[in-house]
Amino acid sequence: MTFRHMMIFREVAACCNMTAAAKNLYLSQSTVSLAVAEIEKTYQIRLFSRLGKRLKLTEQGELLLHYVDRILALCQEMDSALREIHTRQIHIGSTFIAFSCLLQELIVQYHIQYPDTTTRFTIDEPHVLERKLESSELDIALSEYPGNHGGLVYTPLLEDSFVLICSPSHPFAGRDTLSCANFGTEPLLLREEGNSTRTAIEAAMREKKLELCQGPVFHNIDALKKAVEENKGVSIVSEMLIQKELAEGRLHACRLTDLHLQRGFSLIYRKDREYRPQVKEFIDLCRRLAASSDFQSLKVNGGPDIRRS
C-alpha cells in the first residue's frame, strides 16, 4: 500500500462518500474506487459497508484508519522537523487560565536563556489542545484540567491555591486567615457563570452548606481585582494571579481555614514523538522551575536564578 492509497482511504473515511472524497482530492470517482478496491484486494478485507447513500467503516476499516492516521501524522511531523531544521521554533498550546498564571512568565524565562528561539501560541479549550497535540499541530501544552488521553503524557507542574482578597482598607486586612462564616455577609465579587473558578467556589460552598452573598459579576479578572482594590467587596481568586498586587500593597490576601480550593497545572506532550532540542529545553525549564522553592516568585521579581545546565 502506498501513501497515495492511504490518503485516498482516509479522505473516503472522513467523507463517508466516494464522490465527495474524489471531489476533495481532485480525482475521478473511478480512481478513488480503484484505490479502495486495491487495498481490499491486497489484504483480502472489506473496508466499508453501505448505509443508505453513506459509507460506514467496517471493523477492518477502523483498524486501518488507526494506523493510517498514525503514519500520516508521523510523516507530517517529519516534514515539519526537516523544514524547520535550521530554525528554532516552538508551538505551545495553553488554556486561558494557564496562559495567565504560568505561560507568560515561563516564556520570559525561556527567552532569557534561549534568545534564538521563537515561540508561537494557541489559546484554546483543553480538548482542542489535546487534539492538536495528537496531530502534531502543537509541540506542547499547558492546562489546569486533568486529562486521560492515552497517547499523551501529563506531567504535574505545581498546585495553585485560592485565597480571599480584600482592599488594604478593609477590616479583613488585619487578618491572615478567615473562615467562611467570617465573610458570609460580605458582597462576594465573582466571575461570570461557567467560569472554572466560580464553579469551584460555588461547589465548595454548597458542600459546606453555606450561602453566598453575591455582589457584582465580572467578565475580566483585572476588572474584578480593581473593584476589590476599591473596596467594593471581597473575592476568592487564584493566588498566582495576584502576586503583583500583593507585592505593591494594593490587595490583601487571607487564607481560608475551612474552604480548601486548589487546582493543578500540567505540562502535556505526546508519548511517541521525537522532540527537537528547543522543545526538550522548554520541558526541562518547566520541570526545573516547578521544582524550585518558590515558583510564584516569577510573578513578583522575574523568577529564581536558573542557569543553563
Along the 309 residues of the chain, how does pLDDT read in single tens digits? 898 999 999 999 999 999 999 999 999 999 999 999 999 999 999 999 988 788 999 999 999 999 998 888 888 777 776 666 566 788 899 988 888 878 888 888 888 888 888 888 899 888 899 988 888 889 899 998 878 888 898 988 888 888 999 999 999 998 999 887 777 678 889 888 878 788 888 888 888 777 777 788 998 889 999 999 999 989 999 888 888 899 999 999 999 888 777 788 889 988 877 788 888 889 888 888 777 754 545 443 333 333 222
Burial tier of 116 (Cβ tally within 10 Å: 0-12, 13-18, 19+)? exposed
Q: What is the pTM of this model?
A: 0.60
CB 289 within 8 A of CB 109: yes
Specify which residues 188 forms β-bridges with.
Answer: 214, 234
CB 178 within 8 A of CB 254: yes
CB contact set of 86 (below 8 Å; sequence gap of 6+): none
CB contact set of 177 (below 8 Å; sequence gap of 6+): 254, 255, 256, 257
pLDDT at 86: 60
pLDDT at 165: 93
DSSP string, the chain: --HHHHHHHHHHHHHT-HHHHHHHHT--HHHHHHHHHHHHHHHT---EEEETTEEEE-HHHHHHHHHHHHHHHHHHHHHHHHHTTTS-EEEEEE-HHHIIIIIHHHHHHHHHH-TT-EEEEEE--HHHHHHHHHTTS-SEEEESS----TTEEEEEEEEEEEEEEE-TTSGGGG-SEE-GGGGTTS-EEEE-TT-HHHHHHHHHHHHTT----EEEEES-HHHHHHHHHTTS-EEEEEGGGSHHHHHTTS-EEEEESS---EEEEEEEEETT----HHHHHHHHHHHHHHHSTTGGGHHHHS-------
Nearest residue to 286 (alpha-carbon basis) of 264, 306, 302: 306
Q: Rounding to the nearest 10 degrees, give the CA dihedral for residues 255, 295, 90, 134.
A: -50
pLDDT at 158: 81
